[in-house]
Amino acid sequence: MKYYIGVDGGGTKTAYALFDENKNLIQLVKGPGSNHENYENGFDDAAPLIWQGINDLLAATGKQLSDISFTLMGLAGIDHPFQHDEMVKRLKDFGLTNFEIYNDGFIVVKAGSTGAAAIGYNCGTGTCCNAIDNDGKMFQLAGLGEFSGDIGNGHWIAMMTYKAIYDDVYLGLEKTAVTKMFYDEYGIENKEGFLAMVSKFEEENADPFIMRLIDFFFDAAKEGDKVVLDIIDMMASRGVALINAHLNTLNFTDETVEVVLSGSMHTKAFSQLYVDALIEKATKECKRNLKFIKLDQPPVTGCINWIMQQYA
């Protein structure tokens, strides 16, 4: 029996999975985020975390590194060849062999698609849109934050929700239902009290605050709030632009091109109105037949699919 390791490294957590040659998941362990861009010392901090996670997985299964035929990793922050080479060098220095590293957006493609070629569009903590065409060419769009105009992820939605309230109460622009939701939730009594809440974005545990803003956003969308619906239209338009760029740049020869949607902004029930808008707009504007697939399994499964297609 041959064994393989898949690693899905994100900004907040990393999944380490052991699979057998029949693609059965033997063991899954999780560790801290492994995106080198989130650490003060970059690769010098991130690489030891990945090495530790691999060893934790081996210890949990009673395996040795020599028992592993191949390891494939999808890591956030690996956006350019020099970043790939830096991480590879450090992991080789630890003693890891027979492995390859890609950006984590590419394992989404392999996790959700039925064939070898597809587009993967992820909106979770961050945004990225990756594709692999029928020639095996790989291309990544977005993933550079403001520098690549990334929108639609959770942090961006929370920021836009706060901005919508600011525009309402400070600039006297369009009224939005999220203002009352926010004021009622946090007992805000005046403009100054609202403005002071911006500091919560910078707290060490800002996630609950960000999630509540996201809740307000999608609750207001269900109520037909124009401000929020305009933002959703912006999100859908940006998504279509990313998908179209892949269709126009790469060589997709299948009659229908699969688009795998991943990340909580695409796969959770609360966001269905946005997903419907994305699909409707893409159907109208893209000059190809598209099949949208919501990823319903852990992205790390894309690692074993990829290994069996190319490396086993």
For the residues of 55-88, what is the DSSP string, one character each? HHHHHHHT--GGGEEEEEEEETT--SHHHHHHHH
- Residue 164 near residue 180 (C-beta atoms within 8 A): no
pTM: 0.89
In this predicted model, what pLDDT tens digit does every residue of 216-248 receive, in sequence order?
A: 999 999 999 999 999 999 999 999 999 999 999
- Residue 30 near residue 129 (C-beta atoms within 8 A): no
Q: List CB contacts of 18: < 8 A, sequence separation 6 or more.
A: 3, 4, 5, 25, 26, 27, 28, 57, 61, 63
Low-confidence ranges of the chain (pLDDT < 70): none
Q: Which helix (H) or strand (E) holds 128?
A: strand 127-132
Q: How far apart are CA 107 and CA 7, in angstroms?
A: 10
pLDDT of residue 165: 98
- Residue 278 near residue 271 (C-beta atoms within 8 A): no
Q: How far apart are CA 25 and CA 303, in angstroms?
A: 11
Q: How far apart are CA 155 and CA 271, in angstroms?
A: 15
Instruction: Give first-to-last CA distance, the chain, whole Å.
Output: 12
Q: How far apart are CA 95 and CA 93, in angstroms?
A: 5
pLDDT of residue 11: 81
pLDDT of residue 10: 86
pLDDT of residue 69: 98
Q: How far apart are CA 249 and CA 242, in angstroms?
A: 11
3-state secondary structure 149-195: CCCCCHHHHHHHHHHHHHHHHCCCCCCCHHHHHHHHHHCCCCHHHHH
pLDDT of residue 23: 96
Q: How far apart are CA 74 and CA 10, in angstroms?
A: 8
pLDDT of residue 80: 86
